[in-house]
Structure 1
């Protein structure tokens, strides 16, 4: 399952869910508000900009936003909402593609760093972020905490969401040796038919993420459980981590 096949035209056309899910105001607005604050009046670069879920409203707040995106169909969907002058986008992968200019903020949200399936690629992503940033610039990552405690003994799979009345069940299968997980999304209606989509990921523990950051020259500035700056604890299921390059001497 390579990423370009996963993020195809069909996926792009049904990716946006205005007003619900990841597009719900209570999910979207706090992220945009905090990123605008972290940009501190400078330019922002979004890795894996997708259909512009974050970039479009962030640009509407007055933050100049550029994107990097691997999928042409996702970019085409973004273009129905914002033109090239509003949100310029460079086609390519987030680990190696270089966007012109320098930025005060690079961000990578909604677990997307896990789409890079090797540790080496994930480290390269941090280094690519550092290449784009001015001294003192920030790299922000939103990522889930691996929920291995939910695995029954001897099992390699766990249900992460169950809503039969809404026609959706989500199941994760784990390869704990390689830190790989495949998310299986089952959608169905009143008929006997169901639809399955799958996405592979490499999960990262917060401490491993911090080491990747150090290898790229970053220091951890803050870590919270969400975009509203809630305390990150051992019970948190996700985190927003802000890394910062040293300021120029």
Structure 2
């Protein structure tokens, strides 16, 4: 798991909200918060990888008690400095294994955060950890992109997703291990700065098996928070698994 001294330390946390500005727009945030608030109902929610509070803060503003788990103290410091940040309880630790007190009606992972766990074992542990926190009938929600492997011709391992005069970004894939990384090259004062984040990409069917191992069952899968149908052309999915017994 990526720690505070690594990929989401102070140097990244300081500019994270600006670098992900598109994901902070109301049209990106509101549909996610609408669905998560509906699933939480009158119970509390647990965000795995709470970060700077992009989703936790507006969800809490809807009256949902939110607790977060995150290993990056630098990212959490940004959350706590924002209006309403003191209302979000946060436990510092690896969200794949860290336990907090209480039971929740909702646990969730957004914005490809499941991929920050770079081994299959860690991802399996994450599902078990989420299930252990849920009340019977509770929901576990994951938002994650689909691997863009169809764009890889033979012999190529990189797929660009942003090109401009001052910034290039590309993903690299190892189809044998499901290891990938997102790489960013930015020109600042004529000098190139490089930042890379490792991930492990994961298929929907693999996530469903992880859920079954954790005692969860698939309830819904959509292309986005707006609940469009998930198809073979979808670039991401929002999946909801349920803990039986509610």
Residues 94-131 of structure 1 deviation map (CA, whole Å, 9 limit, x = unaligned): 11101110000000000001000110100000000011
Q: Distance between the aligned counterparts of 1:90 and 1:169, measured in 2?
A: 35
Q: 1:230 to 1:83 in 2, by over 3 A?
A: closer
Residues 52-108 of structure 1 deviation map (CA, whole Å, 9 limit, x = unaligned): 110011101100000001011111111101567510000101111011100000000
**Structure 2 partner of 1:237:** 235
Q: Is the 8 A contact 1:12 1:73 kept in 2?
A: yes
**Structure 1 partner of 2:183:** 184
Q: Provide the secondary structure at the position in 2 that maps to 1:196.
A: strand
Q: Is the 8 A contact 2:50 2:68 kept in 1?
A: yes
Aligned length: 245
Query: Which ranges in structure 1 are unaligned for 5 or more consecutive residues?
Result: none
1:169 aligns with 2:174: no
Q: 1:36 to 1:2 in 2, by over 3 A?
A: closer
After TM superposition, the score normalised by the length of structure 2 is 0.95
* Alignment match of 2:226 (pick from 225, 228, 233): 228
Q: Distance between the aligned counterparts of 1:86 and 1:205, measured in 2?
A: 35
Q: Is the 8 A contact 2:2 2:71 kept in 1?
A: no
Q: 1:18 to 1:150 in 2, by over 3 A?
A: closer
**Structure 2 partner of 1:159:** 160
**Structure 1 partner of 2:53:** 52
RMSD: 1.7
1:81 aligns with 2:82: yes
Query: Which ranges in structure 2 are unaligned for 5 or more consecutive residues?
Result: none
**Structure 1 partner of 2:33:** 32
